[in-house]
Amino acid sequence: MFGLYRQFTLGRYTKAFIIKASGEASSKNNLKALIKEAFRKDLIDGIIGTSLNKKEGFVSPVFIKCEKEVEKFEPFFFIHGGQNSLLKKITQKYSFEKLGVAGHSCVLDGINKMQYFGIGSNFTVTKFTLKIGIACIGAISLEGIKCLLKEKKVKNPGFNEIFLENNKIILKNKYEKFDFSAKEYYYYLNEGCKVCMNLSSRGSDITFVPSLRNGYSLVLVRSAKALKLFENPGFSVKKAEKSDIEEFESLAKNFLKKNIETILERAEFGIPSNKWDGNRFGRFTALWNNIYAENIEEEVF
Amino acid sequence: MIKRIEIEPIPLTEGHSKLILKVDKNIIVEGFYYALVPVRGFGTMLLDKEATFAPIAASRICGMCQAVHSIATAKAIEDACNIEIPETAQKLRELISLSVRAYNHLLHHILISGNMFKNPQKRHTFIKNVQKIRKTVSSILETVGGGIIHPSNIVIGGISSPIETPVKERLIALIEEAEKLAKEEIEIFIHHIERLWKEQKLPENLGEHKLPFITSKEISNVSIKEIYPQEIFNELPLKREATNTIILINENGAETGVRARKIREERYKPKGGIKELHKLRAEEILLSLKNIKRILETEKLDKETRNKQFPTSDNEKEGVGIVEAPRGVNIHKVKVDKSGKITYYEIIVPTALNMIAIAESLKGEKVEYAEMIVRAYDPCIACSTH
Amino acid sequence: MIYSFDNFDKEIKVKLGFFHLSSCSGCQIAFLDMFEELPDILDTVEIAYSNMLTNRKEIPKLNVAFIEGTFSIGFKHHIKLIKEIKEKADIIVAIGGCAAFGGIRRLNVGAQSPQPSHQASIPITELDYLKGKIKYVIPGCPPNPYFLYKFLLALLELNEEFLRPFEHMVFSTFASGYDILMEVVNKGLCTGCGTCICACPTKALEFSKRTQRPTFNKLLCVGCGSCLAGCPQSFKPYPQPVYG
């Protein structure tokens, strides 16, 4: 009995909002507004994220130390950029007391694991206060994006934005918008993301979905702390409609189904997905079949 | 009649070591102190390895005085390869070695507290106090060095990351807090040392010796000779048991470490004995913290800190890196060839220097004080069996 | 229950011992570097033997013996010590890269004065004599004080979920940065999050912006096993934090 239930695809959340920043309507601006709000409400005093460096054409991790620096921040979704490699330096050298992170599920997995076991970074890692998860349909490399655009015979591949709209993945540059279906996009996905079962960044305080619908992006609130962000915020906020949530859910389902296929394929060939627990696939199916009984939040694949 | 007494292990010291004493009517006539940890082979491990690996390996010689070994090896390789390092990096290295000094002396207080307190609860309270300062000192090490136990920021050509002004300000605030705590801690420590001497009726000049003192400033003007245990001992098992070499300065022993530094830098007149050593070590904690603060307040540390020149040399020039470690003079000598490989490596550690000082201090003292005398020198067995 | 303490009684503190074979003492210092958390732990555990911290020459009966450093083959003090620990300790934990995987001691070639014959060094996990006695392995050079703190807590609470991966690691007798390439990058599980770079204590792993993958410089690796243990793709039977 397989079922892709909402608790699994989206994780447990208490409230869902749609938010829109003032100015140009784009999902990255909406995320920036959210981060600015966190600075303003003193929830964080620094945050790490990944930013597009247009000059070099790389996506690299950045550390934002104050609200002013958020302006220069160019969040680029679905590329991780080695965000966690900054952690040691930040926690050891700068020793911030209230650290935030805006990252995809695997970045948060790394941080959650570090917090749980303590491998990698010292006591300072306990200083994370706000985790903004970014819903991710799978990472793609910049080369992958290039190839995608070449497939469509796009001549000017300069782009600075990626987001979800109408069940499609949109790449945007100054002049044009290109859209890709899930199927087209999936081919160029990072191999590691094809076995991911945590598209909605379950281990976070708040999940930001990089979608755009009439200028609004979906946000799933998971903790009481994150709810503070929505008290008299500097951006316009509305309660999410059923259709808003369903739109992302159906896209996530689409990707999850493909990922399950990949996992089964790996299992057939005995390619491990987990070193320590050879029976990972067994665990996976056991849990899958007991979806009603087990608390999905507790299990991560 | 002369008896032979063996004491093994020596608790409340680092590593595994042994004392062999020749005793006449409970008075030590001759004493030897030596290491029993296998030779760890860092000298030969580095041969024919790339020079860039040396600071990382050298840091793992010892878990207590880690950074001074990294700095010494980096200095030696820079010397051999004629690499000039930026002034900021020099200052940062000084900062690291000063914090290692304070960190180590405090660690020694924790070890020695096992001797000072009979009541475990009282010892616990004392340790708690020391831990507070160690925490602040270690955060300086972590910030500047990139790690507490094996700092990774020390590289050939400097330090891998500078200290920006806001970070510096935070460090100054930390050091001010540490200074306050250290003043109290030192008072408590000295009080307990005095109490210990009174309670156990220990002689004031316990562990006196007549050896000269040596610091890193005059080490280049003296003759250094390494002798093996095979030369010292007459009996066979001892020849093959001892795992440390002993360093002779001008064909004689010498004491290095905190007392030698005090004599050289402040023209201090030593009274002799291990009680003085304990007190001077405690006082040096505050001095190191003050020096750290001075560097932080007066120097600009946000400039270029690394010279990225690749380390190569002619295989002729012997590079020497001398660092004043917590326990005394620490020397690394190296030769590097054209391809950047190490062709010769030699390490001289302070504990190997102090072995003779320990032996001399033991002479003429009662047997029951032997362990206490050894502990006062804070020997580091891991270093001496590098 | 994974292991049992002899005569376990709530009144009696769990007795810990720290032992030092061929190593730098850094792991023991890391234990001391827990600073303020250390007194909390000392309420429930007792450091019954440590050459650095206790004024004791005989090894008492222990519940957990933490051993750091490699075993030097043919070195009679180590043979004596290992025999004694096996007899007196309920379980052994190999702490740090050297004891667990060989660490930097794997590069040891001996031939150094004054005892050139001290050339053979192996991690204690390779000793058949201690099979079954070594329950857990703690990777890292040195392990983080915070990690040690969490580990001790888990040991006291018998938190199997936490301890399981470290129980499995007993069977790996070698570790290096190649692990991250072999088990994660090669197997197509790397997502480019950069956690291994943060875990590496020697900067042998660095992040390549162009490929979005870790690059491994084998020259600088000391084989401590931190990188794979830190990687979120290696093992994650950990509960996600629950937010209130």
Enumerate residues 230 to 259 of chain A having a beta carbon within 8 A of any beta carbon in chain C: none
Determine the pLDDT at residue A128: 84
Is the pLDDT at C241 greater than 50, yes or no? no
Q: Is the pLDDT of residue B292 over 90?
A: yes
A192 φ, ψ (degrees, to nearest 5): -65, -25
DSSP-assigned states of every residue in C124-180: GGG-GGGTTTEEEEE-SSSPPHHHHHHHHHHHHHT-HHHHHHHHHGGG-----THHI
What's the alpha-carbon Rg for chain C, to the nearest Å?
18
ipTM of the complex: 0.91
- The answer to whether A122 contacts chain B (CB < 8 Å) is yes
Residue C114's contacts (CB-CB under 8 Å, 6 or more residues apart) are B39, B228, B229, B230, B242, B243, B244, B245
Query: To the nearest whole angstrom, how far is the Cα of A94 from the nearest Cα of chain B?
Result: 6
Q: Cβ of B179 under 8 Å from any chain A Cβ? A: no
Does the beta carbon of C27 lie under 8 angstroms from any beta carbon of chain B? yes
- State residue A298's pLDDT score: 41
Whether the per-residue pLDDT at A300 is higher than 70: the answer is no
Angle between helices B274-298 and B258-266 (to 10 degrees): 60
What total of structural domains would you count in chain A? 1
- DSSP 8-state class, residue B341: B
Measure in Å the smallest separation between the Cα of B1 and chain A Cα atoms.
57
The C residues from 79 to 138 touching A (CB cutoff 8 Å) are none
CB atoms A118 and C146 under 8 Å? yes
pLDDT tens digits, A80-89: 888 888 888 8
What is the structure's pLDDT at A293?
A: 38
Helix residue ranges, H only, chain B: 42-45, 54-59, 66-80, 87-116, 120-145, 165-199, 229-232, 236-241, 258-266, 274-298, 350-362, 370-376, 381-384
Q: How far apart are CA B170 and CA A96, in angstroms?
A: 11
Least confident span in A48-57, A96-105, B326-335, C87-96: A48-57
Q: Which positions in chain C touch B57 (Cβ < 8 Å)?
A: 104, 107, 222
Query: Residue B12: its chain C contacts at CB < 8 A?
Result: 51-55
Subunits close to B (at least 3 CB pairs below 8 A): A, C
Whether residue A234 contacts residue A33, with contact meaning beta carbons closer than 8 Å, is answered with yes
Quick one: pLDDT band at residue C236, thresholds 50, 70, 90?
A: low
Mutation target to probe the B interface, by most B beta carbons within 10 A, among C13, C15, C23, C24 is: C24
Average pLDDT, chain B: 90
Gap between the terminal Cα atoms of chain C: 30
Query: For residues C139 and B219, what is the distance between their CA atoms, to the nearest angstrom?
Result: 40
Whole-angstrom distance, CA of residue C136 vs CA of residue C116: 32
Chains that touch C (3 or more CB pairs under 8 A): A, B
Distance from CA of C182 to the nearest CA of B (A): 23
Residues A136 and A105: beta-carbon distance below 8 Å: yes
Is there a contact between C232 and A83 if contact means CB atoms under 8 Å apart?
no
Q: How close is the nearest chain A Cα to the Cα of B11, in Å?
A: 30
Q: Higher pLDDT residue, B238 or B160?
A: B160
Cβ-Cβ contacts under 8 Å, B146 against chain A: 88, 92-93
3-state secondary structure of B266: helix
Give the model's confidence band at C243: pLDDT under 50 very low, under 70 low, under 90 confident, else very high.
Answer: very low
Burial of C4 (C-beta count, 10 Å sphere; 0-12/13-18/19+): exposed
Cβ of B152 under 8 Å from any chain C Cβ? yes
d(CA C130, CA C136): 12
Cross-chain Cβ contact B111/C53 below 8 Å:
yes
Which of A92, A94, A95 shows the shortest C-beta gap to B146? A92
Nearest-Cα distance to chain B for A171, in Å, is 37
Could you tell me the pLDDT band of residue A273, with boundaries at 50, 70 and 90?
low
Which of B96, B136, B142 should one mutate to test binding to chain A, selecting the residue with the greatest count of A CBs within 10 A? B142
Which residues, numbered 59 to 98 in chain A, qualify as contacts with chain B under a Cβ-Cβ cut-off of 8 Å? Answer: 88-89, 92-95
Structural domain boundaries of chain C? 14-171, 178-230
Confidence band for A290, pLDDT divided at 50, 70 and 90: very low
Kindly determine whether residue C38 and residue B110, on different chains, have CB atoms separated by under 8 Å. no
Would you state the pLDDT for residue C96?
Answer: 92
- Furthest CA-CA distance within chain C: 61
For residue A91, what is the nearest residue in chain B, using CA coordinates?
Answer: B143
pLDDT over threshold 70, residue A157: no
Instruction: Check if B142 contacts A (Cβ < 8 Å).
Output: yes
- The C-alpha atoms of residue B222 and residue B204 are separated, in whole angstroms, by 32
Q: Which pLDDT score, from 0 to 100, does residue A289 have?
A: 40
Question: pLDDT category, B155, cuts 50, 70, 90?
Answer: very high
Going by C-alpha positions, the residue among B300, B303, B306, B295 that lies closest to residue B84 is B306
Q: CA dist A219 to A35, A245, B191, B386, Å?
A: 13, 9, 62, 57
Q: What pLDDT digit, counting tens, does each position of C152-207 carry?
A: 988 888 888 788 888 888 888 888 889 888 888 888 888 888 899 989 999 899 99
Is the residue at A285 inside a domain? no
The per-residue pLDDT for B28 is 92
CA distances from C197 to A109, B155, B366 (A): 15, 17, 55
Domain range for A176 is: 14-241
CB contact under 8 A, A95 and B139: yes
More confident residue, A98 or A280: A98
* CB atoms B114 and C53 under 8 Å: yes
Residues of A whose CB is below 8 A from C140: 119
Angle at alpha carbon of residue A174, lines to A172 and A180, rounded to 5°? 15
Helix (H) / strand (E) element for C226: namely helix C226-230
Chain C segment 215-244 residues within 8 A of A by beta carbon are 226, 228-244
Alpha-carbon separation of residue A271 from A268, A290, C168, C169, C189 (angstroms): 8, 25, 19, 20, 11
**C14-171 — its CATH code?**
3.40.50.700
Residue C1 — very low, low, confident or very high, per pLDDT cuts 50/70/90? very low
Q: What is the per-residue pLDDT for A270?
A: 74
At residue A125 the predicted structure's pLDDT band, cuts being 50, 70 and 90, is low
**Is the CB of residue B292 less than 8 Å from the CB of residue B98?**
yes
pLDDT value of position A213: 86
In this complex, which of B9, B16, B63 lies closest to C26 when CB atoms are compared?
Answer: B63
- pLDDT band at residue B312, thresholds of 50, 70 and 90? very high
Fold observed for domain C178-230? Alpha-Beta Plaits (3.30.70)
A60–C193 C-beta distance less than 8 A? no
Give A236's strand partners.
A20
Question: What is the average per-residue pLDDT within B206-215?
Answer: 90
Higher pLDDT, B129 or B79: B79
- Name which residue leads in pLDDT, C238 or A272: A272
C5 has a pLDDT exceeding 80: no
Nearest CA in chain C to B112: C53
**C178 close to A (CB below 8 A):** no
- Left if phi > 0, otherwise alpha if psi is -120 to 50, otherwise beta: which for B328? left
* pLDDT at C100 (0 to 100): 92
Instruction: Supply the mean pLDDT for chain A.
Output: 81
Q: Where are the domains of chain B?
A: 84-209+272-308
For residue C188, list chain A residues with Cβ-Cβ distance below 8 A.
Answer: 191-192, 194
**pLDDT for the residue numbered B65:** 85
What is the structure's pLDDT at B231? Answer: 85
Residue C114 forms contact with B (CB below 8 Å): yes
Q: What is the mean pLDDT of residues A141-145?
A: 83
Percentage of residues in chain A having pLDDT higher than 70: 87
Tell me the nearest-neighbour CA distance from A89 into chain B, angstroms.
8
Going by the DSSP 8-state scheme, the letter that residue B49 receives in this structure is: S
How far apart (Å, rounded) are the C-alpha atoms in residues A87 and A118? 13
Superfamily of domain B84-209+272-308: Cytochrome-c3 Hydrogenase, chain B (1.10.645.10)
Residue B104, amino acid = N
- In angstroms, the CA C205 to CA C180 distance is 9
Q: So what's the pLDDT on residue A276?
A: 37
Q: What is the pLDDT of residue A291?
A: 40
**Chains A, C: CB contacts under 8 A, how many?**
183
**A chain contacts of residue B147, beta-carbon cutoff 8 Å:** 92
Tally of CB atoms within 10 A around C95: 29
Residue A278 pLDDT grade (very low, low, confident, very high; cuts 50, 70, 90)? very low
Give every CB contact of residue C107 below 8 A, 6+ residues apart in sequence: B45, B49, B57
If DSSP states are collapsed to H, E and C, what string results for chain A?
CCCCCHHHHCCCCCEEEEEECCCCCCHHHHHHHHHHHHHHCCCCCEEEEEEEECCCCEEEEEEECCHHHHHHCCECCCCCCCHHHHHHHHHHHHCCCCEEEEEEHHHHHHHHHHHHHCCCCCHHHHHEEEEEEECCCCCECHHHHHHHHHHCCCCCCCCCEEEEECCEEEEECCCCEEEECHHHHHHCECHHHHHCCCCCCCCCCEEEEEEEECCEEEEEECCHHHHHHHCCCCCEEEECCHHHHHHHHHHHHHHHHHHHHHHHHHHHHCCCCCCCCCCHHHHHHHHHHCCCCCCHHHCCC
CA dist., res. B120 & res. B114, Å (int) = 8
Q: Which chains touch A (3 or more CB pairs under 8 A)?
A: B, C
Question: What is the band of B296 on the pLDDT scale with cuts at 50, 70, 90?
Answer: very high
What letter does residue B255 receive in the DSSP assignment? B
Q: What is the mean pLDDT of residues B314-320?
A: 91
For position B80, what pLDDT does the model report?
94
The helix (H) or strand (E) run that includes residue C72 is strand C71-72
| 8 Å CB contact between C184 and C228 | yes
A265 at interface of C, judged by CB pairs closer than 8 A: no
- pLDDT band for position C34 (50/70/90)? confident
Beta-bridged to residue A237, according to DSSP, are: A19
The answer to whether position A145 is within a domain reads: yes
Q: What is the pLDDT of residue A11?
A: 81
CA distances from B247 to A205, B222, B251, B331, C191 (A): 61, 12, 9, 12, 53
Q: What is the pLDDT of residue A123?
A: 67
Beta-carbon separation of B44 and C107 below 8 A: no
Phi, psi (rounded to 5 degrees) for B14 = -80, 135
How confident is the model over B154-173, as a mean pLDDT?
90
C53 close contact with A: CB closer than 8 A: no
pLDDT at residue A110, as a whole number? 86
Query: Mean of the pLDDT values across residues B76-101?
Result: 93
Residue B330 pLDDT > 80: yes
Residue of B nearest to A120 (CA): B147
Subunit contact C194:A202, Cβ cutoff 8 A: no
A-chain residues near C244 (CB < 8 A): 223-224
Handedness of CA A92, A94, A98, A99 (dihedral sign): negative
Mean local confidence (pLDDT), A100-107: 88
pLDDT, residue C83, reads 94
Name the more confident of C38 and B302. Answer: B302
Q: Which residues of chain C lie closer than 8 angstroms to B148, CB-CB?
A: 30, 33, 145
What is the spatial distance between Cα C109 and Cα C118, in angstroms, rounded to a whole number? 8
> Considering only CB atoms, which chain A residues are within 8 Å of C167?
none
- Residue B183 contacts A, CB cutoff 8 Å: no
